[in-house]
Amino acid sequence: MSESKGGDLRVILADPLLPDGIETLRAAPGLAVEDHTESDREALRSALEGASALIVRSRTKVTPDLIESADRLRVVGRAGVGVDNIDIPAATRRGIAVLNAPAANTQSTAELAFALLLAAARRITEADASIRAGEWRRKELRGIQLSGKTLGVIGLGRIGAEVVWRARAFGMRVVAHDPFVSADRASDLGVELASLDELLPACHAITLHVPLSEENRGFIGRKELAAMRQGSILVNAARGGLVDEAALAEALGSGHLGAAGLDVFETEPLPADSPLRDAPQLVFSPHLGASTYEAQRQVSRQIAISVRDALVDGDYSAALNAPFEAEDRDGAGPIMDLGYRLGRLLAGLEDAPPSRIDVRYGGPRDGVLGPLAASVAVGFLERRVDPPLNVVNALSIAAERGLEIVRVRTQAVGDYTNYVELSAASGRARGRGRSRGGRGMVVGGAHNGSRIETRVGRVG
């Protein structure tokens, strides 16, 4: 259905958007919204000819061939968090900004994780089923109270932090594991940081809030389950695949684990032959983390605002792959690549998460520190955070984790054309230059033509 007027920028809805988002787009000057939620693939491809924006949920796959058919597309908006249905490299190659709504479902997902914890602790689903069966099993269905217990939170991103606040309101002690959260951030949240080996046996309940990658698939396996406290509870409302499901079923069946709550699964829908289906003391929900009206309303409004701002105002600050201003990024690729490499190097050398990284640049380019600092953040945080990470959002994610990245323009070093130095330290940063709050690492590098040179040292 087309509502385009001559000269308007066309926004194509491939998947449903709530009225709040649609009205936000329609109220913007020069935008025309077209509903193609019932269109087949070929009709959608035709509709994208001459369109400026495409908004999708998880159903529509934005593949290279679909992108190629969109000759004037400037924006792809994902009404949600995950963007695995969008070919971001293909979009980037075409200069198409990819937007999502990363914070819109934070509250709802945190609430569901805590609901699973409560239901598992108090055996709510089992109690409900017993009453429906005509039983009254008060003595057998005795649970545990959360007040005074220790909750282990693995991953202190947006959702993990919200779970922390709820746990503290219930009178729980919170221990957290997140190698890329500083002691200052943990202190602000009122949690104690611990290694995974320390956390597993110390907690009455553990909840997961980390991204899934090939490196951490089966993150909680037989070894980790065996290390957990006898009778403890495991909750996963983060990503399917983080937990070895067969091992979890065994741990519940043996009585080593007291209960578990799962919203996500390695294969969805959950297969009929999954060992989890016969496991005792297990609370299920079918991936409902973002399934509240409020979350979906916020998702719709947030993506509509981001698309509107990009098309009407030229504001691409919310884009996952947005470039910096032309005058800052033009020719800065080698320097940004150097910053990324040094950030990765620094991440591998740090034995404790720093609270501050100073990014020093010595060279002739003005305006390069912004892209450089973002590239350093990407290298340092890569594969450690849940939201998609790139130069657009890396600095804000670093700030959320209590990591301050300071930009310092300095004199050129020796004969190097472009010299970059990173210094990291823990503790609150004061004054200029390096933090005075503890020991840390320093890495440096120079880019001269095709050659990169690096050095490593320790400060403090």
- Residues labelled as active-site residues: 239, 268, 287
CA–CA distances in Å: residue 407 to residues 190, 226, 362, 368, 376: 29, 45, 11, 10, 11
DSSP state of 391: T
What's the token pair of residue 239?
């990503």
Q: Which residues of 284-316 are buried (b: 16+ CB within 10 A; e: fewer)?
A: bbebebbebeebbebbbbbbbbbbbbbbeeeeb
Name the residue among 260, 52, 447, 47 with its Cα closest to residue 60: 47
Three-class DSSP labels, the chain:
CCCCCCCCEEEEECCCCCHHHHHHHHCCCCEEEEECCCCCHHHHHHHCCCCCEEEECCCCCECHHHHHCCCCCCEEEECCCCCCCECHHHHHHCCCEEECCCCCCHHHHHHHHHHHHHHHHHCHHHHHHHHHCCCCCCCCCCCCCCCCCEEEEECCCHHHHHHHHHHHHCCCEEEEECCCCCHHHHHHHCCEECCHHHHHHHCCEEEECCCCCCCCCCCECHHHHHHCCCCEEEEECCCCCCECHHHHHHHHHHCCEEEEEECCCCCCCCCCCCHHHHCCCEEECCCCCCCCHHHHHHHHHHHHHHHHHHHHHCCCCCECCCCCCHHHHCCCHHHHHHHHHHHHHHHHHCCCCCCEEEEEEECCCCCCHHHHHHHHHHHHHCCCCCCCCCCCCHHHHHHHCCCEEEEEEECCCCCCCEEEEEEEECCCCCCCCCCCCCCEEEEEEEEECCEEEEEEEEEC
How would you label 202-230 residue by residue, b for 16+ Cβ within 10 Å and e otherwise? bbbbbbbbbbbeeeeeebbeeebbeebbe
Q: What is the rounded CA–CA span in Å between residue 111 and residue 294?
A: 12
